[in-house]
Structure 1
Amino acid sequence: MTAQKPPEPTPPDHRRSLLWPAAAVALGALLMYNSVEGNGTTEPHPTAVASAEPSPAAPSPSVDRTLVLPRSTPTRISIPAIGVNAPFTNLSLGSQGELNPPPADDNNLVGWYMGGAAPGQAGPAIVAGHVDTKTGPAVFMLLYALKPGNTIDIAREDGTVATFKVDSVEEFSKADFPDNRVYSDTPDPQLRLITCGGVYDHQVKDYKDNVVVFAHLDSTGTV
């Protein structure tokens, strides 16, 4: 995996409008790439279909501007319901336009796509993590078990904590992944947690599905 120099800073709205279409394509490659690093030992689980109304993909009718945070790099994620407490690494695009995945030699590490929204900014922040690696289960092994109402805390470099509330947990075939629903811009701060799921195909060394958690910013605080 190669590191990519971060893009030159641009105003947030322009950053999202210029890079997001490319990110949607790149992230599809990332999700399949992640599973190649796995070992296929994670047990298949019931299809994740927990949801709350309204659909998290739909734009919010109004945005509470007091909850919109300025851009700041995430440093740590905590998901009490499934025992996740892990640091972040930044994810960027490789030379072919693909998103470099988190390192496969660390089972307790999540990656944030720094070309998109930061957690707490308006728009969907994209966080990806392995379900397993060649050495065993990884940070998002139990992502499918989250339920609507569960909370996700993300600490940021500026000393703030963005607390997201889960709206739904869904599983999609990689052959029919809903790019627009997952990656399209939103007027309010949202979060997408993504990992591999479903059956592991040992022949192609790839999981057939992706688990996606949809969440919205519920509150903010300080470390």
Structure 2
Amino acid sequence: MISSSSGRRRNLLVSTAVAAVLLTGCGAPATPQAETSTPPSKAATPPASTPTSSPTPAPSTPASPAPATTPAPDVLPKSVPISFTIPAIKAGSELLALGLRDNGSLEVPPDGPGAPASWYDQSPTPGEQGPTVLLGHVNATDGGPGVFADLRALKAGDVIEVSRKDGTTVSFAVERGEQYPKDDFPTLTVYGNTEGPELRLITCDGYDPATGLFDDNYVVYAKLL
């Protein structure tokens, strides 16, 4: 569901940057390595190992061109997110826009008390085709709750509203939440392109009291209403 002061809608096909988010410890910046694909795109996941098998021979006849992809009907033009609210868990904040550092490591939100969540600026803006990615901490440096402390309490159908700079508000419905080990993060599942506008909320999970670190990430999947 999309509300707007201007009522504008149009279709737009958006390519999705693929990156693995590792919010290490939810209290310190993560440093995943960048990788390059063809065509080049920024990412934040360790480089894949080089295959050792022989290259596949080129086909003797040219391949047929792939059919064009039709955008979803309610896709909006690009407009950066400025805030979000989740009424079911009384969560919300303004949104920072964070990306990748020069060395390819992922910027993460500040982790002090009351710190806001962030939009990963290599992902689509809310309402564009593909998964918008919001990052937030599960705890704060003073030991209190972070902005995404209660993501596990979300249920299917709960609404997440994201306000955009152009005055529109985009509403998403929660589908599910999944916990993933940070050393086996499903990059394409989380960041891969989708048929329509979707949303991902990502925080830390799997706290290990022996190390004081979080070994996992928790990801909430939501779709446009």
TM-score by length of 1: 0.71
CA distance in 2, matches of 1:106, 1:70: 34
The answer for the alignment partner of 1:174 in structure 2 is 182
Alignment check: 8 A CA contact 1:35 1:196 kept: no
**Structure 1 residue 126, shift from structure 2 partner:** 0.6
Structure-1 residue corresponding to 2:132: 125
Q: Offset of 1:164 from its aligned partner?
A: 0.2
Structure 1 residues without counterparts, runs of 5 or longer: 1-11, 38-61, 219-223
- Equivalent residue, structure 1, for 2:82: 75
Q: How does 1:39-118 map to 2 (within 5 A)?
A: 64-65=72-73, 67-118=74-125
- The alignment-based identity, stated in percent, is 37
Distance 2:187 2:99 in 1: 18
Structure showing greater radius of gyration is: 2
Structure 2: tracts of 5 or more residues without a match:
1-11, 30-69
1:215 aligns with 2:207: no
Cα RMSD for the two superposed structures: 2.0
2:125 aligns to what SS in structure 1? Answer: coil
Out of 166-175 and 143-152, give the one that drifted further.
166-175
Match of 1:32 in 2: 24
- Measure, in 1, the Cα distance between the counterparts of 2:28 and 2:134: 18
- Give the Cα–Cα distance (whole angstroms) in 1 for the partners of residues 120 and 217 of structure 2: 17
**Inter-partner Cα distance in structure 2 for 1:95 and 1:73:** 22
Runs of 4+ in 1 over 6 A off after TM superposition: none
